[in-house]
Amino acid sequence: MKLNTFPSTIVIFLVSSLLLSYSCKHLPLNDGIIIPVDPTGNGNNTGSQCSPDTVYFVQQVLPLMQSGCAVSGCHDAITHKEDLRLDSYSDIMATGGINVNNPTESKIYRAMVKTDEERMPPAPASPMNSSQLALIVKWIGQGAKNNSCIESGCDTTNVTYTNHIKPMVQNACQGCHSGAAPGGGIELSTYAGIKAVADNGKFYGSISHLSGYNAMPKNGNKLTDCQIKMVQIWINQGAPQN
């Protein structure tokens, strides 16, 4: 699990995982907006209240790694290309690819910012976008902790596609649902693709883990009750591109 070979293959796999399953168009995460993912799977986050100044591994970094890197054929538990697994905190840290003293020299980060074919995730996946890279660097700089936070409430007064749904899907779903071979043949990097699963019931059914649907995010933590509620509200509004 040492990232001694990190230079190319690891980076490639990281990036490729992102790109492969996602072909991820990693859209900008909305800075300041915390997009929590429920680490317990039962709707309860753990830790202290979410602070906009802190980057949380469980809510913000892990979903990126799970959907971008720890995907089937790349750095998941089964494939673990280059002997690298990137689907949990301990596995990510065990790679040796995180350098808290010099975040931008971390091998995992270096792999993501390469401009050649060694970039992770590799093409056809999209590279991590600047917001996502900044988030990772900030998390490493803050000590690369296995931290988690509790949402201080669920403000659903003005749920919009732009401010809530799109960043949520970019963070937790797009790594697997974009690119040349999106998961289940479902493309979620465009409004049209998201609208289609909103309209046919699969978006809500899969994230709510309703019977008859494949539970999403696949192999990842369930979205929080707040996120699921926002999706429901947005769908009930007709899933507008607002």
Q: Does residue 122 interact with ligand HEC by CB under 6 A? A: no
Q: Does residue 97 interact with ligand HEC by CB under 6 A? A: no
Considering only residues 107, 218, 230, 235, which one is a binding residue for ligand HEC as defined by CB under 6 A? 218
Stretch that binds ligand HEC, among 53-61, 110-118, 148-156, 212-220 (CB under 6 A): 212-220
List binders of ligand HEC among 169-198 (CB under 6 A): 172-173, 175-177, 183-184, 186, 197
Q: How far apart are CA 102 and CA 176, in angstroms?
A: 30
| Sequence-ordered list of residues with C-beta below 8 angstroms from that of 16, at least 6 positions apart, any chain | 73, 74, 120, 121, 122, 125
Q: Does residue 216 interact with ligand HEC by CB under 6 A? A: yes
Taking the complex as a whole, the smallest distance from the CB of residue 2 to ligand HEC amounts, in Å, to: 25
| Sequence-ordered list of residues with C-beta below 8 angstroms from that of 90, at least 6 positions apart, any chain | none
Q: Does residue 202 interact with ligand HEC by CB under 6 A? A: yes
For 102, the token pair is 């010099």
Site size with ligand HEC, rule: CB under 6 A: 25
From the number of C-beta atoms within 10 Å of its C-beta (0-12, 13-18, 19+), residue 179 rates as buried
Q: How far apart are CA 6 and CA 197, in angstroms?
A: 37
Residue placing its CB nearer to ligand HEC in the complex, 29 or 197: 197
Residue placing its CB nearer to ligand HEC in the complex, 147 or 206: 206
182 neighbors 176 (Cβ within 8 angstroms): yes
Q: How far apart are CA 164 and CA 23, in angstroms?
A: 21
Considering only residues 134, 213, 229, 232, which one is a binding residue for ligand HEC as defined by CB under 6 A? 213
For the chain, the farthest-separated pair of C-alpha atoms sits apart, in whole angstroms, at 51
Taking the complex as a whole, the smallest distance from the CB of residue 106 to ligand HEC amounts, in Å, to: 23
- Give me the residues that bind ligand HEC (CB under 6 A), please: 21, 66-67, 71, 172-173, 175-177, 183-184, 186, 197, 202-203, 206-207, 213-214, 216-220, 223
